[in-house]
Structure 1
Amino acid sequence: MTKESKATETRRYTLEQFYGSESIAGNFISFDGKKILFSGDKTGIYNAYYVSTEDGTRTQLTHSEEDAVQVASFFSEDDRFLFLSDKGGNELLHIYVQDENGETVDLTPGEQERAQFYHWSKDGKSFFYGSNKRNPGFMDVYEMDIANFESTCIFTNGEGYEFGSVSPNKRFISLGKVTNANDSNVYIFDRETENFTHVTPHDGDVQNIPQRFSGNSESLYYLTDENDEFLYLKKYHIESETTEEFIREKWDIVTSHISKQGNYLVYSVNADARTVVKVLNVNSGQYLNLPELHGGQIIDLKFSADEEVISFLFSSPTSPTNLYTYTPETAELKKLTETLNPEINQADLTDAKVIRYPSFDGLKIPAIYYKPSVKAGEKAPALVYVHGGPGGQSRTDYNPLFQYLANHGYAVLAVNNRGSSGYGKTFFSAADLKHGEIDLEDCIQAKGFLKNQPEIDDEKIGIIGGSYGGYMVLAALAFRPDEFKAGVDIFGVSNWERTLKSIPAWWESFRDALYKKLGNPYTQTDYIRSISPLFHADKINKPLIVLQGANDPRVLQVESDEIVQALKTNNIPVEYIVFPDEGHGFMKKENRIKGYGAVLEFLDQYLKQ
């Protein structure tokens, strides 16, 4: 079968069918290894489920109809579990416990409190979590005893530290301290002496990020990019105060953790927008052989308490995330979920191709191309997609919106412009105090790649993005109004002066980092306004659609209200949808279907025609 005939035969699917697939997240093995806890949106909103590792049967545990449930962990000796949930996307997450009878208790009930689950103690009799109930700007560290659900503050965070981990013997707490977006430090707080140890003294900008302590509490693993473009793993020995390089890869190591018994180090590598997971036996120095699943990526790999079974999530560009178990001793692999809507033929979906194209100065910009489903000889419209951030990254995950657009004849090129993470610290910092300028130029240059594709109509190229990417959409339409035919802004910033002055209280420790990356709204007002599309809305002359959550604490609704009103005043076609029950991201399927359905109708009218 040729590619042309495949395109001719591809079936068109509705948005309801694409979102008839299930999105799942989380992966926690029960104490006896018989169940795995996860969140899934099968009912239209994320709820908690467990699936049997023996026969794959699943049981729904929570029945929320309004607020998403984010599972945090099973208990270590029974089937109780913890989960987090907020109200309407306001990001004031609380920690809840649900017992084996289905009764739920809010463990962090403060009205304005935001809580974050960290991890369990080694003995499983308590867990550690963060809460900003004392000071809205900083997360103190608490230990909660599960015998009576009483908590004790074990670290008062008065200086804006970021939590790393608590050692298995509970004596040490690792902490991170952000200086700016490109520089941070690692500290160890000794609870017995109440002394701080600065683990990572250095000169210049170096990222240092605490990870977990060794199983014997004698060492701390941490990530650093000292003398390197990419993050690698180091090991700090507490008693001798010495450091050794532990693991280095060709790309960023982005996460690491130790198995419960301390025998395995699990870490993940961000390899050119794709996750690669590796498991090291710290005793033998040998890597564990993982099952070969082609065309996708393993994420969120965990060991059972006895370290005999592994569970993980696996996804590909053409398949939503699924849950698997793997037994290393027997090499038995089990797929426990089937999340793709059975009405959709996976062969009809488009693969994600990592490409690079030259920008204005010759620098190669990484991007991910989703080829449109069109008949032989047809020309398709295209969209340049810009991710969130600043500092985010588009990756080769399953994306139902991209698949929907490609299935309906639109090419999507997801750009990782300068300032994106994953490509080294020089690339990451290259757009500092140049946002809306140099990164925008990278996005515009993406048109050159699209114009060279034989299936693309080079007169029909639009731009789409969410959050920071939504800002880039507005920036493109305001500062380079002749480059794109239409724009799709999903909760994007229009006025950086207001946004940077009104960041959520719990972002306080990152305030200076944001200011260094984007500008200080109090001392660099003229510059901030020069990159804010709202102050240049009179230059926008292309149609725009805007989607916004009313409860968004990061990009306030007024950001979208005002840019929409400015376009209406100037008689520019603009459509606007506000979801009263959403925040920074749309959690309910019905809202995603309504919003993205309106996007396709808008594009059919203003880009495809």
Structure 2
Amino acid sequence: LVSSNSTGIFNVFEISIADSAKHQVTASTVESYFAVDYVPGTGDILYAADKGGNENNHLYLLTADGSSRDLTPGKDEKVSFLRWSADKKSFFYISNKRTPRFFDVYRMELDTWTPAVVYRNEKGLNVDDVSRDGKKVALNESITSSENRLYVHDLATGKTLEISDPAMPGSYSTAGFSNDGSTFFYTTDAGKEFQYLAKFDLATGSRSTVFETKWDVMYSYTSENEKYRVIGINEDAKNVLKVIDNATGADVAMPAIPDGDVLAVEISPSEKLMRLTIGTSRSPSDVYVYEFGSKKLSRLTRTLNPEIDPNNLVAAEVVRYKSFDGLDIPAVFYKPLMASSSARVPALVWVHGGPGGQSRVGFNELIQYLANHGYAVLAVNNRGSSGYGKTFYKMDDRNHGEKDLMDCVHGKKYLQGLEGIDGEKIGIFGGSYGGFMTMAAMAFQPDEFRVGVNLFGVTNWIRTLKSIPPHWEANRKALYAELGDPFSADSARLYNISPVFHGGKVKNPVMVLQGANDIRVLQVESDEMVAAIRANNVPVEYVIFPDEGHGFRKKENQIKGYGQVLTFLDKYLMGKKEKGE
């Protein structure tokens, strides 16, 4: 069961393991549908969808006769599936229908499809997980973006046990309960620079390390009957997967995939099959199935458009360069195949979302599209990016748009020193937080970048932080701790770093892409940013997508938007003449 946008928008598909035949299950042309799971013991399907990118996801039941039913029909309700119960006769999910700010835990019985509250989240914590027997709930209290506390709440006794160590503050993330409910697994960087996997004995309170390496452990979970443990590692912007046989403690040999990296795995309930997601920087992800017993590997999908030769796409290269203060900045570099000392190409600095995100080695449609048309791209992991230890991650706290912006400026300087790059033709682009960084560069370092492309980016931090969605309430404190409280004296600094108030400083051409239904970055922000630049008689192109939210869901809009970005860059950065000129 998979989700695919091969129809132009995400729909649910089934793929036969026997012959890889692909069958379209849903036929939406308006909203994106995302597969959740088969209903146990039936061919019925659960899927999730929102409306127009408003992020209020509901759970739907699709039955064998083709009829669909909204199981969570609250008008402003937002839900998320958690897990099936041990007996597979119900499932747990979280919903904010009682109050828009907090998520409660519900149990829905499959025989009646009626929900019942099992945990009322009166304290406004994040709900991470429910134990297999439905007796315990894992809760997460955000303190800052790099510190939180982890708890297990016993539904029968009403008692809450802290899992995190008060004497060792840090980041703590849920990695699940053991099947018998006696042990709780979690990842943390407490006392260390990188995240490691640990376990907590709920009876004795003892802690011990399960797995540790020199990079962040991103996640871990066990298969249905705990035969295998899966561990995901973020190794220098690349996924590394380990599957461990719990009986022996030995690594399970992963099948060899020519020219492919294992990005994710899912083990079947029978524990006889493993679904692998395989991809590279030159190809979107494909699905394979591996049989543990026979060691047979079967490829189920071929996602890359057959009209595209992967040899014409660019392999990502992890690089590092020095910033203004000597700090090493990691980055991912994409160099067009046609670039050389005798054929120099323009370049772009790409800034990821967040704050706290990471540009990773993997397939990026926009970057490959631009590289194929002659633009080098340096995807910068500025200070404050995740994946490089907690010290690096915290370096941009209360410093956004300043030192992290200078990391991007020095990314430009790094590009200028590379063979095959036209150092006079370098721009900057990014999405969400990266869109903010783009506009900050254009306003506060107006002589550095020839052009800027802002995709769904923040430009007014005061408004953004005051108007965060109600369901972000559990993380409001952490967000304000990192960025600043807009209702306090912090508003002065937030004003100073918000590009919308400094549009008159922008000198070079800008392009802005905005979703009309964006609940994170309101359209009014982009409206005002564009107006401020135009008032300065600087070229600015503004594209609004009436049926998108915070990013692209519809392929038609994505193709249109990326095409307009290329046209803009060709005109203002590469310097191509338009027809008739």
TM-score, with length taken from structure 2: 0.97
Aligned to 2:579: none
Structure 1's 296 and 506: CA in aligned 2 closer, same or farther, altered over 3 A?
farther
- Give the gaps of 5 or more residues in structure 1: 1-36
Secondary structure at 2:314's aligned position in 1? coil
Q: 1:140 aligns with which of 94, 98, 104?
A: 104
Partner of 1:385: 350
Select 2:418's aligned residue among 453, 458, 464: 453
| 1:179-237 deviation line (CA, Å, top 9, x unaligned) | 11111111111111111011113246401112211122110001110111111111111
Which residue of 2 is the match for residue 424 of structure 1? 389
**2:291 is the alignment partner of 1:324:** no
Post-superposition CA distance 1:3-61 (Å, at most 9, x none): xxxxxxxxxxxxxxxxxxxxxxxxxxxxxxxxxx0000011000000100000001000
> SS state of the match for residue 522, structure 1?
coil
What amino acid is aligned across from residue 508 of structure 1 in structure 2? Answer: E
Amino acid at match of 1:593: I
- How far off its partner does 1:71 sit? 1.0
- Of the three residues 527, 532, 535, the one matched with 1:566 is 532
Question: 2:356 is paired with a residue of what secondary structure?
Answer: coil
Cα offsets for 1:253-273 (capped at 9, x unmatched): 111112111221112011111
Q: Which moved more, 1:457-466 or 1:376-385?
A: 376-385
* Counterparts of 1:168 and 1:512, CA distance in 2: 31
How far the C-alpha of 1:164 sits from its partner, in A, is: 2.1
For 1:17, the equivalent position in structure 2 comes to none
Letter in 1 for 2:370: L
Name 2:556's counterpart in structure 1: 590
Give yes or no for the alignment of 1:358 onto 2:334. no
In the other structure, the counterpart of 1:442 is: 407
Q: Secondary structure at the match of 1:462?
A: strand
Question: 1:182 touches 1:205 (CA, 8 Å); kept in 2?
Answer: no
Give CA deviations for 1:374-394 in whole Å, capped at 9, x if unaligned: 265111000000000000011
Instruction: Provide, for residues 402-458 of structure 1, a one-character-per-residue CA deviation record: whole Å limited to 9, x for no partner.
Output: 111001000010000000011100000000000000100000000122112111000
Note if 1:192 corresponds to 2:156: yes
Partner letter of residue 331 of structure 1?
A: K
Aligned residue number for residue 473 of structure 1: 438
Contact 2:356 2:384 in 1 (8 A): yes
Matched, 1:540 2:506: yes
Which whole-Å CA distance do the structure 1 matches of 2:172 and 2:516 have between them? 36
Residue 145 of structure 1, CA deviation: 0.7
* Structure 2 equivalent of residue 25 of structure 1: none
Deviation at 1:328, TM superposition (A): 1.7
Counterpart amino acid of residue 548 in structure 1: Q
**How big is the alpha-carbon RMSD for the aligned residues of Structure 1 and Structure 2?**
1.1
Deviation (angstroms), 1:550: 0.2
2:41 counterpart of 1:77: yes
Residues 296 and 317 in structure 1, CA contact (< 8 A), matched pair in contact too: no
1:274 paired residue number: 238
Q: In 2, distance between residues paired with 1:355 and 1:583?
A: 33
Of residues 84, 92, 96, the one that matches 1:128 is 92
CA contact (8 A) 2:284 2:304 kept: yes
Alignment of 1:489-508 (within 5 A): 489-508=454-473
| DSSP-derived class of the 1:457 partner | strand
Q: Which residue of 2 aligns with 1:292?
A: 256
Distance in structure 2 (CA, Å) of the matches to 1:405 and 1:179: 40
Deviation at 1:295, TM superposition (A): 4.2
Aligned residue in 1 for 2:485: 520
Q: Secondary structure at the match of 2:288?
A: strand
| 1:295–1:202 CA distance, 2 compared to 1 (3 A) | farther
- TM-superposed CA distance for 1:289, in Å, is 1.1
Counterpart among 90, 114, 134 of residue 150 in structure 1: 114
In structure 1, how many angstroms separate the alpha carbons of the residues matched to 2:405 and 2:169?
25
Equivalent-residue separation in structure 2 for 1:126 and 1:296 (angstroms): 38
- The answer as to 2:277 corresponding to 1:313 is yes
* Amino acid in structure 1 at the alignment position of 2:313: L
Letter aligned with residue 450 of structure 2: K
On the 8 A contact 2:339/2:345 being kept in 1, the answer is: no
Counterpart check, 1:180 vs 2:153: no
The CA distance in 2 between the partners of 1:227 and 1:268, in whole Å, is 21
Spell out, residue by residue over 1:285-309, the C-alpha distance to the aligned partner (whole angstroms, 9 max, x if none).
Answer: 1221111225443233111111000
| Structure 1 position 210 matched with structure 2 position 174 | yes
- Asked whether the equivalents of residues 215 and 258 of structure 1 are also in contact (C-alpha less than 8 Å), the reply is no
Paired residues of 2:460 and 2:500 also in contact (CA < 8 A):
yes
Question: Larger RCO: Structure 1 or Structure 2 (Cα < 8 Å, ≥ 6 residues apart)?
Answer: 1
CA distance in 2, matches of 1:579, 1:352: 30
CA distance in 2, matches of 1:343, 1:291: 28
> What whole-Å deviation, never above 9, does each CA across 1:305-331 have from its counterpart, x for those lacking one?
110000121111011110110012211
Once the two structures are superposed, residues 521-562 of structure 1 have per-residue CA deviations (whole angstroms, 9 ceiling, x without a partner) of: 111111110111111111101100000000000011111110
DSSP 3-state at the match of 1:301: strand
| Structure 2 match to 1:394 | 359
Asked whether the 8 Å contact 2:173–2:186 carries over to 1, the reply is yes
Query: What is the deviation of 1:173?
Result: 1.3
Residue matched to 1:110: 74
- For these two proteins, the number of residue pairs brought into alignment is 573
Equivalent residue of 2:15, what SS? strand
* CA deviation after TM superposition for structure 1 residue 152, in Å: 1.1
